[in-house]
Amino acid sequence: MLEKIILTNDHVKGLNEMMNDNHEYMGTFLMEITNSGMNPLDGVFCRGGELDADQMDGDEKKALLQMMNKYAALAKENPETYAIIQMHTHGRKFGELIQKYDPYWTIKCTESRQPGKIVNDKFYVSKREGGDDLAFKEMAELHIKKGIKFYHLFVHPEYKSEGTLMSEDKIKLTGYKFNPNNIGNVEEIPIEIS
């Protein structure tokens, strides 16, 4: 299996539209595994905090969770055919200032990594208890334990763009697989747009 995310121009257009917002979005793709990579078959999305903060209508939330569970069940039952790719954005409305943390995968602070610092030009040390690194680790371990191939699509302003104005041409897509030995618990995988 080639660990590569394959997106169409329509997928990218939809992701770009989500990025023109000051809210984070999260979602899940059911991916078909092929010889050339992983292709999205279906996906569900919402604003990041809606699932946790009871901001979503009960029926809408139930339907979203049912689809996510359906994707996971298909990927578990057919591990050679399907994978799950979780997605989240660090968006900013076009024309607004990109904040220091927007372009980066957030990681937990440690004695050697102080909050607010950029590490390896790709990671931002979170001022909170945890970051994208801990959330991804938890979800990846949960899925992998169930025999599900699990990846992540991070949609964000390009690296080192903080302090400039957000625009569509600054959107970057980064694919990750879980690697607990790396900073951020991630290892990049390629993305192809066809």
Q: How far apart are CA 190 and CA 86, in angstroms?
A: 15
Task: Kindly report the pTM of this predicted structure.
Answer: 0.91
Residue 51 pLDDT > 60 = no
3-state secondary structure of 108: coil
Q: Are the C-beta atoms of 177 and 186 separated by less than 8 Å?
A: yes
What tokens does 163 get?
Answer: 């302090």
Give CATH for domain 5-193: 3.40.140.10
pLDDT at 22: 85
Q: What is the mean pLDDT of residues 164-173?
A: 96
SS (H, E, C) 128-177: CCCCHHHHHHHHHHHHHHCCCCEEEEEEEECCCCCCCECCHHHEEEEEEE
pLDDT at 113: 86
Q: Which of 17, 70, 74, 83 is nearest to 44 (CA)?
A: 70
Q: What proportion of the chain, given as a percentage, has pLDDT over 70?
A: 94
| Residue-range domain boundaries for the chain | 5-193
pLDDT digits (tens, 9 = 90+) for 116-159: 999 999 999 988 777 899 889 999 999 999 999 999 999 999 99
